[in-house]
Amino acid sequence: MHGSSFITVIGVLCLVMIMLYRIKALHTKKIWHLSIQQVIFLVLIPGIVFPMIFSYLQAMLRLPKSDTAIFPDSILVSTILLSLMYSYGGIAIHAVTKMFSSYLKNKNSELAEINKFFHLNFSHNLVYSGIIISSLGITLLEINHVPNTGITNLGWGIFRGIILGLSFAIFIYYYTRASSNSYRGRWGDLKLFFGTVWLGFSLLLYVVEKFDIGFTEYQLLLPMLLSFSVMVGLSLVLVIKKLKNGNLSINLKKKISKILKLD
């Protein structure tokens, strides 16, 4: 599979998942105590995406090595596979905890709070950060090898990057718009994810500047860089909004003591 086809399929899948998420019937109808929507995200989507990514990695590794290798292929492939594993673990945790949330009658109980943490904060950070790291690893792996698909179309690459970035932004927006008022996420819960995006974005910029890589030489570089930039821009908007409202405060001592609190 060529890089252009790979990123196009991923973009289409993102749009399909957004549409599936908006169908209320998929949230109410259940299979094995899980909603149909959760089963699709847990079984069907990974069953399509993971073999496709593995096939793409194998095709990429068969290409000749280039002079712009950043990290060894073995480290990148291990990082990609490990990140995908963590992402799927987050999907599984999210599916199970979402199922439990429908059976918890007392939404203010300690058990409900623990379930809420794993359902919203933990699972989403795990999934989103794993996807970002995997995307970064695949992009760097492509740069490690001599491209064989010719020069990519600049406009088409920009379009795909914007679509990917906006799709991710919509999924994060849904995180703060849960169906239940007692199980709603907050932008501030995703600090780990936004930090991962900033690191990935900075690394891609460094690679482009250091090796003077043209955006039309590789199929994944421009779309991934633009999709990361959308997330970076979103985080900046949120921080500026917090500063204007006077709500930006970081109490490390309180947060650490809460994390380390033992019953």
Residues in the chain: 263
Task: Kindly tell me the burial class for residue 107, based on how many C-beta atoms sit within 10 Å of its own C-beta (0-12, 13-18, 19 or more).
Answer: middle
Q: In Å, how far from its chain's centre is CA 62?
A: 27
Q: Position 58: which residue type?
A: Q
Question: What are the two backbone dihedrals, phi and then psi, of residue 242, each rounded to the nearest 5 degrees?
Answer: -65, -45
How distant, in Å, are the alpha carbons of 34, 102, 185 from that of 95? Answer: 7, 11, 15
Confidence label for 41 from pLDDT (cuts 50, 70 and 90): confident
DSSP type of residue 261: -
Question: What are the two backbone dihedrals, phi and then psi, of residue 141, each rounded to the nearest 5 degrees?
Answer: -65, -40
pTM (global) more than 0.75? yes
Q: Please, what is the Cα angle at 24 between 18 and 27, to 5 degrees? A: 90
Residue-wise pLDDT for 159-194, tens only, equals: 888 888 888 888 888 777 765 555 667 888 888 999
Q: Of 131, 154, 145, nearest to 222 (Cα)?
A: 154
Task: Kindly tell me the burial class for residue 190, based on how many C-beta atoms sit within 10 Å of its own C-beta (0-12, 13-18, 19 or more).
Answer: buried
Percentage above 70 pLDDT, the chain: 85
Question: What are the two backbone dihedrals, phi and then psi, of residue 221, each rounded to the nearest 5 degrees?
Answer: -60, -55
Confidence label for 247 from pLDDT (cuts 50, 70 and 90): low
Q: What is the distance between the alpha carbons of residues 229 and 65, in angstroms, rounded to a whole number?
A: 28
Q: Position 90: which residue type?
A: G
State residue 136's pLDDT score: 92
DSSP type of residue 118: I
Q: Taking phi first (over 0 means left), then psi (-120 to 50 degrees means alpha), and beta for anything else, what does residue 27 get?
A: alpha
Q: With contact defined as beta carbons under 8 Å apart, do 225 and 142 qualify?
A: no
Residue-wise pLDDT for 75-84, tens only, equals: 999 999 999 9
Question: What are the two backbone dihedrals, phi and then psi, of residue 205, each rounded to the nearest 5 degrees?
Answer: -60, -40
Question: Which two tokens mark 170?
Answer: 């919509």
